[in-house]
Structure 1
Amino acid sequence: MKHVRLIAVSVSAVLALAGCKPAQESAAPDADAVAATHAAGTDQAYLASVEQWRQEREARLRDPDGWLSFTGSGQVAVGTHRVGSANDNDIVVPGGPAHWGVLTVPAEGAPVFQPAADAGLQVDGKPFAGGPLLTQLDEGGPTGIHSGAQRFYLVRTGEVYGWRYRDPESPALKAFDGVPHFPVDPAWRIEAKWTAFEPARTLDLVTTNGTIEPARVPGQAEFELEGQRHVLLPVQEEEGDELFFIIADRTSGRETYGGARFLYVPAPEGDTVVLDFNRAQNPPCALNGHVVCPTAPPENRLPLRITAGEKTYPLAH
């Protein structure tokens, strides 16, 4: 995995050839020089593409609606819960009025929120008089209850409800200064053999809050590294969507986030899929402790160090 060093050698070879050989209009081009120039140009283009990807990712993380804007979270049991920023509430949120209102989660059916008369809450830019709350699993959801720019809403993983609170002025968002990463190494862009499963299989993913989420597995990616064969299973929401690999390796819990890193890959065409580990990224829960994420399944825990992609985010909690 020393491809970065090979890039430098290639560039040095080009410079030496340019400085020592006079131009000879009729001479045939030196094959080694052409190959070196092509390799250097290819690598530089690749490095630029990874850098662009990183800049775009960090721009998304700086968005007020990105993962860093979460400032509160918790689970919600079946029953009635008073919500507000005062300590006498059952659910204490980190902002807004002292008493937002009352949330009711029934054993069956949709949760319902009844706002306090003087809370001044809004949904979709209009005064909120109360009603059912959609989660992210419902079409058109989740229902965001706003107090100014801050908002409260419900999520659901499995049969477990949770609440989330976003603040576009969150300390984590203001403190964000990029995500540390390993040096980009083109050798970690690996062409793997793709084998589709007919029919697709199912894999149970364990989330960071202990719930189980079944996921569709359309096939497997197989590659060899340092004389060892490795297989990774991606999940995919629907056929034709991009592949989503949830991976761990021997850097996990040390140099990288312990639960997993995420790798998104375009849907394969034919029997090859490209695994670009330089684009392995922290899951949202590594950036903000108020988010629930799937962890790497046992099948995707690799017995090697993947020294590519993002490292542990320093503000993870």
Structure 2
Amino acid sequence: MVPARTLTLLAAVIAAGVAACQPAQAPVASRQARAEEAAFQARQQAWRAGRVADLTRPDGWTSLTGLHWLDPGAHRVGSDTDNGIRLAVGPEHLGVFTVRGDKVGFVPDTVVMVDGEPGLGASTLRIDTDPAGPSKLVFDGGKGLATVIERGGRLALRVKHADAESRLQFTGLEYWPGGRDWQVAARFVPHAAGKTLPIANIIGTTDEVPNPGAVEFERGGKTYRLEALDQGEGTLFLVFADRTNGRGSYGAGRFIDAPKPDAQGRVLIDFNQSYNPPCAFTAFATCPLPPPENRLDLAVEAGERDYRKRAAPKPPTEG
């Protein structure tokens, strides 16, 4: 039989050993948590940096300088006052665009490149509904870009320029605090093949957009649902509104590019990467608006806040 004194000493040794082990576990768990948080923050910062780079490219959304509707007939285009369509930035006389039916012809009045080739005479321009995409009309030594787009059955000339005021005076993006808890696990609910959803846009027209399914997720014990769109980009395009719109985030909603569902129908929605539509930065974009189904009764305090152009700092005065 083991003496009571020996048992007492043995119990004390075991207790001391357990106590000695416990503090060692805490730093390990703490280091892991810090590493996970650091990795999350690094991914978010990389995404944000890519977002700014994309917006401020010479042909990014902040470079838009005009959206000019093209009615049937001829249109002389340039920055001079004698043009029917005046450019905010660009050559005095760019050329003449002629619309006949769904065809757009162009004759240059200055040095241009059309789809990578010198524009030496009359050419026919593709519009953005063409499978090959719109023709790219480049001018001002590569600074300017014009394309023809179709919206609501009408044709328009979309013009970008690297010297656009909105690009040169871009002041950066601001974000809600967000966090890892705004990376939400969702379930994909497929629709019948070929289903579309009517999506209104900011210029007052409506387009039928492929609607492959919806995503459902839970937040605070409630279930929410967003209809997903397919724009051929290999992702689920989510156009949504929430309780922060006009109260810190852009009033007309935000976008998310979510990954396609996995084999089990699982989708990760990262609201930290919700972003403003181009219309938040320029008056010349044709942004889709959130459909009624995608108006969340939820304040999504994650992702981009409303873009506010801040005044440039005044130079210091002397004396």
What TM-score, normalized to structure 1?
A: 0.83
- CA shift, 1:64, in A, is 0.9
Distance (whole Å) between structure 2 residues aligned to residue 260 and residue 93 of structure 1: 29
Residue 126 of structure 2 aligns with which residue?
A: 134
Residue 210 of structure 2 aligns with which residue?
A: 216
Residue 51 of structure 1 aligns with which residue?
A: 45
Partner-residue secondary structure (3-state), 1:194: strand
Comparing 166-175 with 264-273, which one deviates more in the overlay?
166-175
Would you say the 8 A contact 1:247–1:301 is kept in 2?
Answer: yes
Would you say the 8 A contact 1:200–1:219 is kept in 2?
Answer: no
CA deviation vs aligned residue, 1:165-206 (integer Å, no higher than 9, x gap): 111122222222321111231111111122222335210111
Larger C-alpha radius of gyration, 1 or 2?
Answer: 2
- 5+ long unaligned stretches in structure 1: 1-22
Residue 247 of structure 2 aligns with which residue?
A: 254
Matches within 5 A, 1:144-155: 144-148=136-140, 149-155=143-149
- 5+ long unaligned stretches in structure 2: 1-16, 311-319
Alignment pair present for 1:195 and 2:189: yes
Matches within 5 A, 1:76-115: 76-106=70-100, 108-115=101-108
Matches within 5 A, 1:228-267: 228-238=222-232, 241-267=234-260
- CA shift, 1:254, in A, is 2.5
- CA shift, 1:25, in A, is 12
Q: Provide closer, same or farther for how the CA distance between residues 252 and 34 of structure 1 changes in structure 2, counting only shifts above 3 A.
A: same
Alignment pair present for 1:69 and 2:63: yes
CA deviation vs aligned residue, 1:81-111 (integer Å, no higher than 9, x gap): 22121222221112333333322112x2311
- CA shift, 1:261, in A, is 0.5
Would you say the 8 A contact 1:221–1:231 is kept in 2?
Answer: yes
Would you say the 8 A contact 1:243–1:265 is kept in 2?
Answer: yes
- CA shift, 1:250, in A, is 1.1
Residue 287 of structure 2 aligns with which residue?
A: 293
Q: Percent identity?
A: 33
Alignment pair present for 1:122 and 2:116: no
Return the letter of the residue paired with 1:245.
L
Comparing 301-310 with 266-275, which one deviates more in the overlay?
266-275
Distance (whole Å) between structure 1 residues aligned to residue 289 and residue 196 of structure 2: 16
Partner-residue secondary structure (3-state), 2:103: coil
- CA shift, 1:292, in A, is 1.1
**Match of residue 273, structure 1, among 264, 267, 279:** 267
Aligned residues: 291
Distance (whole Å) between structure 2 residues aligned to residue 160 and residue 231 of structure 1: 33
Residue 316 of structure 2 aligns with which residue?
A: none
Partner-residue secondary structure (3-state), 1:233: strand
Distance (whole Å) between structure 1 residues aligned to residue 91 and residue 32 of structure 2: 62
Q: Provide closer, same or farther for how the CA distance between residues 24 and 311 of structure 1 changes in structure 2, counting only shifts above 3 A.
A: same
Q: Provide closer, same or farther for how the CA distance between residues 233 and 176 of structure 1 changes in structure 2, counting only shifts above 3 A.
A: same
Distance (whole Å) between structure 2 residues aligned to residue 164 and residue 206 of structure 1: 19
Distance (whole Å) between structure 1 residues aligned to residue 213 and residue 194 of structure 2: 7
Q: Provide closer, same or farther for how the CA distance between residues 121 and 28 of structure 1 changes in structure 2, counting only shifts above 3 A.
A: closer
Return the letter of the residue paired with 1:130.
A
Partner-residue secondary structure (3-state), 2:211: strand
Q: Provide closer, same or farther for how the CA distance between residues 38 and 77 of structure 1 changes in structure 2, counting only shifts above 3 A.
A: same
Partner-residue secondary structure (3-state), 1:164: strand
What TM-score, normalized to structure 2?
A: 0.83
- CA shift, 1:32, in A, is 5.8
Q: CA RMSD in A?
A: 2.6
Residue 40 of structure 1 aligns with which residue?
A: 34
Distance (whole Å) between structure 2 residues aligned to residue 194 and residue 80 of structure 1: 49
- CA shift, 1:40, in A, is 3.3
Q: Provide closer, same or farther for how the CA distance between residues 198 and 109 of structure 1 changes in structure 2, counting only shifts above 3 A.
A: closer
Distance (whole Å) between structure 2 residues aligned to residue 87 and residue 231 of structure 1: 51
Distance (whole Å) between structure 2 residues aligned to residue 70 and residue 160 of structure 1: 19
